[in-house]
Each structure stands twice: as C-alpha cells, then as structure tokens.
Structure 1
Amino acid sequence: MSVEPVKAVLIVGGGIGGLSLASALRDRGLDVDLVEIQKEWTVYGVGIIQQCNVVRAMADLGLVDRYLDAGFPFESVGMYTADGRLKAMIPGQRLAGPRYPANLGISRLALHRVLSSAVLEKGTRVRLGTTVARLDQDAAGVNVTFSDGATGRYDVVVGADGLYSKVRGLAFPEAPAPRHTGQWVWRHNFPRPAEIDHLATFSGPDGAAGLRPLAADLMYLFVTSVEPGNPRMPADQLHTLMRDRLKGFGGLIGTLRDRITDPAQVVYKPMEVLMMPAPWYRGRVVMLGDAVHATTPHLGQGAGMAIEDALVLAELLPQAAALDDLLARYMARRFERCRFIVDSSILAGEWEMARRQDVDRVGLVKRMLEVTAQPV
C-alpha cells in the first residue's frame, strides 16, 4: 500500500520552536502555514542561552550561522558561592564542530528577528492575530477552523503554542494543566564587563542568581525567588522587589543590585511546569515545546528542548512512511530526554526552595550536560 507523504503543515505558534520547525520544513520543500495569536510579533524576556546541544541542533537546522554575529559565544559554565568565590568551572563541548562555539548567548529580540526573517524569506505563510478554533480530523487530513473564521486543510497540524496551548486543549482535553512551582525568576539587562565571558551562576541562601552574556556589550542578571501562591506584583515596585531578592549576594551581584533603579527594566515571570504523558500526538495533530514539556529555567534547556523537537520533526515528517510510525519515532527520541530535563530542573528548584546546602548542584549540571551531549 502506498503512503502519501506529508506535504502541507500548519504550525500554531510563532515562538522559537515553531519558527525553527517552519524554517526547516520549508528547506525540505513542504508547504507551511504558521499562525500566531499575538497581533504584534513581539517577544517576552531579555535573553536566552543556547548550550552545547542547542548550538548543535541549530547548526543541524541550518540556522545558527544567521545569528552568530548577533550573539556572544562562550565555552564554560562557572558555579560560584553567593559572595563570588568559584566552586567549579565546567567546560563545554563544541558539539556542532570546531567552527562553532560550545555555547551562545543571544537576546531574545535578536534571535526572534533572525528566525522570523528566515521563515518569511523561505516562503512560509504567516498570519498574526490568529489561532485555531476547531480541529476536525479524518484519515487523510485535518480540517481547521481559525479564530477569524477562515478555514484550511492540512496533512499535519503542529501545536507549538506554548504553556497554555490552544491546540493541546482542542486535541488533548484530558491533558494536565500547568502548575506553578512556587518560584519566580527576575531578570534585568546590564552592560557586560570583560570578566563575564562565560555563564556564571551563584548559589544564595534563598535562591540562585546568575549572569548570562548576550553580546559584546550586553548581559543579563537573573535571580530566583520563592513566591508561594503566585502573588500579583505592583509594577511600580519591581526594581525594589528584585533588589530585595538579591540581598543575600555579594561581589559583582551585590554591586549590580544597587543599579536596579527602573521598574520598567525588570522582567519577572512565575515558574510554571508541565510534563504531558506520552504520546504527544493524536491522529494528525502533534505537539512540541512548552505545549507539552514546559520546564523551569534552572538548567537553561527549555527553549533548547523545543528546538530539538523541531529538528526531529523536520527530519521525520517528510519521510515516506506511515504518519503514525513517524510520530511514534518522534516520541521514542524525545520523551525521556525531555522528561529528564523537566524533572531535573524541578529538582533544582525544590533544592532552592528548601534551602538545601547538602546537595550536588555541580553534579546535576554535569549530568545534564552529559545527557544532552548524546545524539538527539
């Protein structure tokens, strides 16, 4: 019996995972529509770290060359005490090959500009201010009704629409809801001093702080905090609140703390997690990224897991095989790896909230690097 290959794909969600997948599928000649619920294609947050495995995935997707000049390459991860004493310097691996750095920091705005321009250049049809309202599947395809009343038919629909995914709600109504872990993360951009030429993480009495290089002249400072009940924060007090959550740190972190004076420059976010049970597909609808495996930022792998999802789906979907078999292979390659990242990141947060000093944080990071260095 002949197998009809996938030709037309709808991607719901224009974040990092959805854009990476759209670009890669267009490279392989598939017809791709992408819808994004935001009317203005903006990005949230300050920056992102692409660790060794993520640089490799972006190189495999053919995208990393587009933004090397817009980011900051670095080789190592440093782990420090609250007052700035070095505990361990963990070297990275150049998994993408010797011409690429082990790791790369980049602002989210710069990354979005590169990915969105690539998607448009390659002929993806993008519609903003739109999501899906209804999905009706049959054996040969999916009939989609969009939120603006338009309709379309596709061989595959990919839900890449984040933690509160509309696609997940339509295709998997029984799926668990995201949960707040009890922690928040606070971020603020600063000029980058010369000594922050690596990813630096500091263990404090009530949480972790860190400095992440993003460009030759830019880095960001982050701090995690315990916020039970996920409270509402007054917008005009964010600078004071972030400084308060940094009070247990000295050294460079302490110096920077006193320079946080503008509440508008503080970006804060509750930590919410989700690990949807397998499978992440139903019929011709398949999910990726935060829509099925949202994690905390403790190991810096959230966006990376979405990019790896995109890499695997882009490799599998064009193949001449039964779709169910292709999606089963996607699950076999992605589920345990993503679960390891989610579980390990949650564990790191639980250590912080319990103020545990008897745990091996360095060992956890090394284990993460060992696992993610394995082939995708």
Structure 2
Amino acid sequence: MKAVKKVLIVGGGIGGLCAAIALRRQDIDVDLVELKTQWTVYGVGIIQQSNVVREMAKLGVLDGYLDAAYAFEDVTINTMAGEQLARIPGQRLAGPEYPANVGISRLALHQVLSETTIALGASIRLGLSVQTLEQVGEGVDVLFTDGSRGCYDLVVGADGLYSQIRGLLFREQYRPRFTGQSVWRYNFPRAAGIDHLATFQGPAGNAGLVPLGRDQMYMFVTSHEPANPRMDAATLATQMRQRLSGFTGLIGELREQIRDSDRVVYKPLEVVFVREPWYRGRVVLIGDAVHATTPHLGQGAGMAIEDAVVLGEELVAGGSVEQQLERFMARRYERCKFISESSVLAGDKEMAHDSRFDRIGLVRRMLEVTAEPI
C-alpha cells in the first residue's frame, strides 16, 4: 500500500509540471496550484544537456517537443573573436535514437509539459497559492488563498526562488542572494554555423549562442552589475550592446542587431541553497525553491527536472514517507550542491577577471558528474 496517494504541488513552472507528470505516471493523485492567473512563461529558451534529455525521455515527454526543438551534439568554448579553444562532444545518455543535447524555446516546452500534465489527469488551478500549512497526523491540512481547504499526504514546494513554501518551513533563514552578476538574452534568426551550443569567453562576462529551432537561436551574455541597478526598460537594447563591447566575429556582428529593448530579457542572478534536509514532515521542496543557482553551467532547470523524476521514483519505492524523503535527499543533495557551487564559482571567477580559471575543465567535470545515474 502506498504511503502517498494524494499530493499537492505548489508552482507550475518546469519543476512543478515535471513533478506532476512523474507522480501521475505512478498513479498518484495530484493537485497543482500556480499563483499566476495566466500561465505566462518567462525567458526565451533553455538548454537541455545530456542528463536532462535522459530524464525527459524517462518522463515520456521528450518525443512531444523534439520536432519543435533543435537537437545538437557538441559544445564549443571560444575566444571573444570566435577562435575555438575546445570542442566537447556530447553523450547520448537517453539512447542512440535521441540527441545528446536539445535547445528549446520555453514557450514550446511549457506547452508540452502543461498539456501532458492535464492529459494525465492532474487537477490544475491558476491564480491560487497556499496561505497556511498544518501537519496533522499522517497528512497536511492546507488553507488556500481563496479560502478553500484540502488535505494531502504530501505537499511539494516547487514555487521557485522566492518560494512561499520555503518561507513557511524555514522562515527567513534562507533568502535569495544577489551574486553581483546579471544575464541578458535576445532572440535571433539562427546563423548557419550555430548547430551546437557555442560559448565565448570575455574578460568580464561569458556570451553564448544557443540554437532553439531550425530558424531560431538566442544570445546570452553575463555582466558584472555590483550595485544590482534598476534598469530602465527603454534602454535595455543599448545596455546589452554595451555589455558585448570587445566581442568580435559573429557575436560582434549580432551585437549591432540588438535594437529592440522590448525583446531583451534581463535578469539579475540570485542564488539560494538550503544546507539541511529539504523537507519537514510531509512538506518537501524541489528545484529553485531549494537550490537556485546561476546559468553558467546550464543546469538550473535540469536539476529541478531530476528532482521531479527522483521524487516520483522514491514515493513508490516502499517505506514510510520519512524514509522516502530521506532517500530522495540522499540521491539529490550532493549532486545539486556540486552544480550550485560550481555555477557560482564560474561567475565569481568572471567577476574577478581570473585568467587562470580553468572553465573548460569545469565544464568537462560537470558533464562527467551529470552523466552519472541519479
């Protein structure tokens, strides 16, 4: 007999939707609530590296968006002028029939994940969150913000960097920290040579080009913003071009095409990592709610997806809820800690202009670690 039959998931982002899919595939009843009244998607695109491709195939959703994505094998690391320093081959961890890596627009990914969640029978309510949680006996009594109530065997906080559920569990103990950097993103028609993830190392920031589909790619660049300034939305295009000064080659050519401030996606980089068990009783945190990191290794969303898969496996693997969550932590903590700390380290070295930092070695090590089974 299952210890967990009914679960509330708080948050309808990538981690929350993947958790809903994983649990429904194990025949666990799922209610999902999302604070947004409309399911808008932030950002432009997302990189899914080999380990993430493997887990999305395991979830049974990869085939649903491959046609809308861009499949690629390798990653290159280049100078500011585009001279190649290293080409790192990908690994087909999902099997020979699937690519090593995938670039996908966030909108296309969200469409597949949300449609799959609904098709699998999860109950979804928008414009709603949790007001209070009370753990009673073998369940959690939940008061929602609309005054309704529910009782669940488990509550999953997948509500992101500013997680309300994390606040209910840990109060003010864990608050997001600004790293000193920001990231800028902009969509372009895909250049013929961008058939892989291409990154470019600058003295003060790292730029990159990510293919998202046959006709689309996006550019990103990190920048040092020590005062975390409030950006004037009307000047974002000008400011993004300024952060790309010094880059030549293809990045330099594209820089001059950044003219529409409304198309610039700007985000200060904030991190949080909970250095103790990610659960209290029958409430558990996953994804950015518990280990939000920077995009320097392209694994933030990937770690949330892995969390979802592992949680789904452990909730049907026998034992008490406490034993299940202990096993979940044993499989996730060190792996997520490595990604979190390594990503932050890469950003710190950029801000320090540390020319001795072995970024290529760190990327290779990350790929080795994430290729290991979870």
**What range describes the TM-score normalised by the shorter chain of this pair?**
over 0.9
Match of 1:130 in 2: 128
Give the distance between the partners of 1:322 and 1:175, measured in 2 at CA: 28
SS of equivalent residue, structure 2 residue 217:
strand
Given candidates 273, 276, 294, the residue that maps to 1:275 is: 273
Match of 1:253 in 2: 251
The offset of 1:374, in angstroms, is 0.4
Give the distance between the partners of 1:31 and 1:4, measured in 2 at CA: 12
* Contact 1:7 1:318 (C-alpha < 8 Å) held by counterparts: no
Which stretches of structure 1, 4 residues or longer, exceed 4 Å deviation after superposition?
Answer: none
Matched, 1:366 2:369: no
Match of 1:181 in 2: 179
The offset of 1:179, in angstroms, is 0.1
Per-residue CA deviation, residues 196-225 of structure 1 (Å, 9 max, x unaligned), is 000000001211100001000000001100
Match of 2:373 in 1: 375
Match of 1:350 in 2: 348
Structure 2 stretches of 5 or more lacking a match? none
The offset of 1:174, in angstroms, is 4.9
What is the TM-score when the length of structure 2 is the normalising length? 0.99
Match of 1:195 in 2: 193
Match of 2:290 in 1: 292
* Contact 2:76 2:88 (C-alpha < 8 Å) held by counterparts: yes
Give the distance between the partners of 2:228 and 2:157, measured in 1 at CA: 27
Match of 2:114 in 1: 116
Match of 1:244 in 2: 242
Q: State the percentage of identical aligned residues.
A: 64
Aligned positions, number: 374
* Contact 2:50 2:371 (C-alpha < 8 Å) held by counterparts: yes
Give the distance between the partners of 1:8 and 1:248, measured in 2 at CA: 55
Q: Aligned AA for 2:27?
A: G
Q: Aligned AA for 1:256?
A: L
SS of equivalent residue, structure 1 residue 232:
coil
* Contact 1:9 1:156 (C-alpha < 8 Å) held by counterparts: yes
Give the distance between the partners of 2:309 and 2:17, measured in 1 at CA: 11
The offset of 1:44, in angstroms, is 0.3
Give the distance between the partners of 1:117 and 1:60, measured in 2 at CA: 17
Per-residue CA deviation, residues 81-126 of structure 1 (Å, 9 max, x unaligned), is 0011000000010000001100000000000000000001111100
Given candidates 75, 86, 94, the residue that maps to 1:88 is: 86
The offset of 1:139, in angstroms, is 2.5
What is the TM-score when the length of structure 1 is the normalising length? 0.98
* Contact 2:2 2:316 (C-alpha < 8 Å) held by counterparts: no
SS of equivalent residue, structure 2 residue 270:
strand
Match of 1:231 in 2: 229
Match of 2:309 in 1: 311
Structure 1 stretches of 5 or more lacking a match? none
Moved more, 4-13 or 261-270: 4-13
Aligned residues: CA RMSD: 0.8
